[in-house]
Amino acid sequence: MVQTERGRVATVFLNDPERRNPLSPEMVGGLLEALEALEADPGVRVVVLTGKGRAFSAGADLAFLEKVTELGAEENYRHSLSLMRLFHRLYTFPKPTVAAVNGPAVAGGAGLALASDLVVMDEEAQMGFTEVRIGFVAALVSVLLTRAVGEKVAKDLLLTGRLLGAEEAKALGLVNRLAAPGKALEEARALAEEVAANAPTSLRLTKELLLALPGMGLEEGFRLAALANAWVRETGDLKEGIRAFFERRKPRF
């Protein structure tokens, strides 16, 4: 269900193309395992996430969805928790992540893109939060969506369940860059290499700050930022960066 290619920029493929890469229990488990392994690999600086075939992820697994109303509350809750863990794991992953949206990203599939740090989207792809169309609720995804676009835009997207084209998705801030048809993965890898050239310590600390600051007041946020500013001055990455600047060469992080 999940295929991983290692390197400084690692690529994780959702690998169920015939079914448009749904978030089946097996897919969710495979993604969690892949992220665990990539975090532990010191050679991996950035992770790219994409789908095999013509879709990024169509969201719900139809085979699972067909029986979901017949499952007990306990089993449904277990499934919801595993999906929650995946979104949370990806959103808080200590290394930068880039989603290459190579095709439709719908419902939970759109949630995977939102949970990534950066998103590159094929200009012919679509994204949508369509749960209300079948009587579902985009509950977990709404946590990510409101952080990304704010309450009013989230209400529009969640209550209508409409599909967005790539241009609108970018205009709303859901997507960072658009790619020519068939080039999303190539563009995402190029962006990932750009990020991977930066200091690993700085990247990790920046991600930690960005996770914490939205929930803080002004004074608390500034105090945390001051601590981060002071702490990073003691790191080897900064020493190498300053040395490289004065020696007029690229730093070797």
Catalytically active residues are 131
In contact, 199 and 238? CB cutoff 8 Å: yes
Could you tell me which of 144, 172, 167, 170 has the C-alpha nearest to residue 156? Answer: 172
Q: In what order do the strands lie in the sheet with 9-14?
A: 2-5, 9-14, 46-51, 97-101, 118-122, 177-179
Distance, CA of 201 to CA of 218 (rounded, Å): 25
CA distance 111 to 109: 5
Distance CA 227, CA 222 (A): 9
Sign of the torsion angle spanned by Cα atoms 31, 33, 36, 38: negative
Which whole-number Å values give the CA distances from 187 to 99, 179, 192, in the listed order? Answer: 10, 6, 9
Rg of the chain over all Cα atoms, to the nearest angstrom? 19
Beta strand 97-101 pairing with 9-14: unpaired
What is the torsion angle, in degrees rounded to the nearest 10, for the CA atoms of residue 16, residue 121, residue 157 and residue 95? 80
- Cα 46 from Cα 100, distance rounded (Å): 13
